[in-house]
Structure 1
Amino acid sequence: MPRSSSKRVTLEEVARVAGVSRATASRVVNGVTTVDETIRAAVRRAIEDTGYVPNPAARALVTRRADAVALVLPEESRLLGDPFFGQVVRGVMTVLGPSGVHLVLMTMDANTRDQVLGDLRRGRLDGVVLIHTDRADPLPRLLIEERHPVVVSSRPVVPLPVTYVDVDQPAGGALAARHLASLRRNRIVTIAGPQHTTAGQDRLIGFRDALGDPDLPWVEGDFTRESGAVGMAQLLRAHPGLDAVFAASDLMAQGALAVLRESGRSVPADVAVVGFDDSSAALACDPPLTTVRQPVEDMAAEMARLLLRQVDDPDTPVTASVFPPTLVHRGSA
């Protein structure tokens, strides 16, 4: 059937082309999963052949869904120059795009919490993917109390009955430690991540435990390039004989490498450096960075899948999906 450019195709026309009733066609369009797969395929072909476009307002009345979810990212200043967040968006979109669900990007500021909750209450959003929640942030608890679909990007610092996706952070820290120990480095230090986050805590714990050194010298950074540079300078002043550094993010490692270069230290001959993430920053380093890889795009896609599952079934059990890290060998260690 030729597509009409002047008249909106109706659901009745789709049903006629597919050879089914209007009610059956409507069930397929509205995502009812109990329809026979052969019939669903026929209706989908009819939709493609006729150029039918569902009326969003009418569909929302039937499904009670907005077909939109929010991806809430940290404050805007954290997004600039950090490739992690671009990977998250790409991973989420690999699931949402084919599902026909719109992604609403939001950054955390003073108004975001009220906006998210208001949009969920008014039916403008179906759920939330929340990235890097802070210990003091009440948003996860509020979402749970109001029974809104939500998935967070890491194990909560404060235990909550919430679905989350994470990498095995302690195992990642241990991979870095064992690699540096295998290089016979014995004056090892670390630039840890922020200790108000589980990622910052767990990477430090895994690294320190694998070395069996509770007194391991360390400073706290905030996963940014600038904090890596500051931390490296502090460690060099306190421990000038250091011969290995684990930075708990690639950006912090990049900042540390710049300071080591300025101090006249050769990498890896004088100081071996290992990062964490395996982001594009690792390849931008000089030398290219040996790093612990977390599969960010795969993890983000899993967050989107778990969220859509909650949207479909609000009684879906709380779950934790934890991905294994791997060590990527390059020139810095």
Structure 2
Amino acid sequence: MRITIADVAARAGVSKTTVSRVLNGRGELDDDTAARVRAVIEELGYVPSARGVGLARGRTRIVGMLVPSLIWPWIGEVVQGAVDVVESGGYGLLLFTCNRGAQSMRQFAAQVSAKSFDGLLVIEPEGTLDYITQLPGRGLPVVLIDDRGSRRVFPSVATTNLAGGAAAAGHLLGIGRTRPLVVTGSRRFGCTRDRLAGFVETYAANGHPLPPELVVEGDFTLECGSRAVQRLLEGGVHFDAVFAHNDLSAGGAIRAVREAGRSVPGDVAVVGFDDVPYAQHTDPPLTTVHQPMREMGEAAARMLIDHFAGTPLPETPQVLPTTLIVRGSTVPTTPVPNPPGQTGPAVPATPAVPV
């Protein structure tokens, strides 16, 4: 049977309150009583509830994290970055998803009401902003990761989506591609609007304004990239490049171009966004704008851990730079000669351009 605080109190001949004071180092106790309680705790092998002790001390040493789903390609990197910082600070991470919609949110809200964690990291699930906005006023510090709505309600960590879109445009212009198809994400997301603006403005500034038929709204899936390419090819719309707002839709675009009997990058160059592991395994490997996803998780978690130690949460977003990674989907890779004495195939070069 599990030993309880009542068992310890009975054996030591004291109240449960006295045992609690010994466990939490609170209150005035004479040395003999405290020593007797500790001896009974050791004799019985009593292990206090970590959550109960935390609540008694006014903190749980747990960080909550709310994300839309774990199947998004880049979510794992963000979570890992957060976990690394949280655990190194002596905290644990309690992870919530919204895979089951309203039922998931009810369970999450119950944990908020129970004060199960000291602070919250959020990658905003759709439809949850109104609820999350209430939490700081209830005493729960919140840090937003990847502010897809371009809101400044919370302290946040973001990346340079506008500059990333501009870098993709500059690269395609630099290799002579003047009629790119753009497959966006949902327009309700701030990251979509920023990536599109950076790209379109760069083309316009270089004398190549994009006609409306070359901008197609997608939903960040493999299928949306494939459908956009197929539709334009079937409609006879000419394009010599594709800029997709994530790597999955870029992979779909590569597939559709090749299924139509055209080559990548010879006939159509393709650029993605995110630099998830999948990007290195398309055929050819995908040129993409790298988002520092793990670093964003680390930075957001560090904000909370520092806040617990007394540092105020920042009032302005922390913005981490994107990096353009050039691979074979835009420029045929140039093999790097093997060092003297090394055998086997040469490794293709993968230049990285800070944005």
TM-score (norm 2): 0.72
Partner secondary structure for residue 239 of structure 2: coil
CA contact (8 A) 2:247 2:275 kept: yes
> Equivalents in 2 of 1:154, 1:320: separation in Å?
10
Amino acid at match of 2:50: P
1:242 maps to 239
Whole-angstrom distance in 2 between the partners of 1:135 and 1:320: 22
Question: 1:135–1:197: 8 Å Cα contact kept in structure 2?
Answer: no
Matched, 1:86 2:76: yes
Structure 2 residue aligned with 1:45:
none
Q: Shift in Å at residue 235 of structure 1?
A: 3.1
Per-residue CA deviation, residues 191-247 of structure 1 (Å, 9 max, x unaligned), is 011111111111111111111125351111121222222222233334542100101
Partners in 1 of 2:230 and 2:95 — Cα distance? 36
What residue identity is the alignment partner of 2:281? A
- SS of 1:100's partner is coil
Alignment of 1:96 onto 2:86:
yes
The answer to whether structure 1 residue 282 and structure 2 residue 279 are counterparts is yes
Q: 1:222 to 1:273 in 2, by over 3 A?
A: same
Deviations 1:130-171 (A, max 9, x none): 114447742332223434211111235263430111111100
Alignment partners' CA distance in 2, 1:162 and 1:64: 23
Distance in 2 (CA, whole Å) between partners of 1:260 and 1:207 is 21
Alignment pair present for 1:260 and 2:257: yes
| CA distance, structure 2, for counterparts of residue 238 and residue 136 of structure 1 | 39
Distance 1:275 1:116 in 2: 34
Bigger radius of gyration, 1 or 2?
Answer: 2
Say whether residues 1:215 and 2:211 are aligned partners.
yes
Please give the root-mean-square deviation of Cα atoms over the aligned residues, in Å: 2.5
Q: Is the 8 A contact 1:274 1:291 kept in 2?
A: yes
Within-5 A mapping of 1:292-303: 292-303=289-300
In the alignment, which residue of structure 2 is the partner of 1:155?
Answer: 147
- Code of the residue aligned with 1:102 in structure 2: it is G
Q: Is 2:63–2:117's contact at 8 Å kept on the other side of the alignment?
A: yes
Q: Distance in 1 between matches of 2:143 and 2:286?
A: 31
Unaligned runs of 5+ in 2: 1-20, 26-46, 331-355
> How far did residue 90 of structure 1 move?
1.3
User: How far, CA to CA, are the matches of 1:134 and 1:227 in structure 2?
Assistant: 20
Indicate how the Cα distance of structure 1 residues 235 and 147 shifts in structure 2: closer, same or farther if over 3 A, else same: farther
Structure 1 residue 305 corresponds to structure 2 residue 295: no
The percent of aligned pairs where both chains have the same amino acid is: 36
Mean Cα deviation higher: 184-193 or 94-103: 94-103
Contact 2:89 2:305 in 1 (8 A): no
1:273 aligns with 2:265: no
Whether contact under 8 Å (2:157, 2:317) holds in the other structure is: yes
In structure 1, distance between residues paired with 2:216 and 2:200? 13
State the partner residue of 1:73.
67
1:181 partnered with 2:173: yes
In the comparison of the two structures, how many residue pairs are matched? 281
Give the aligned partner of residue 114 of structure 2: 122
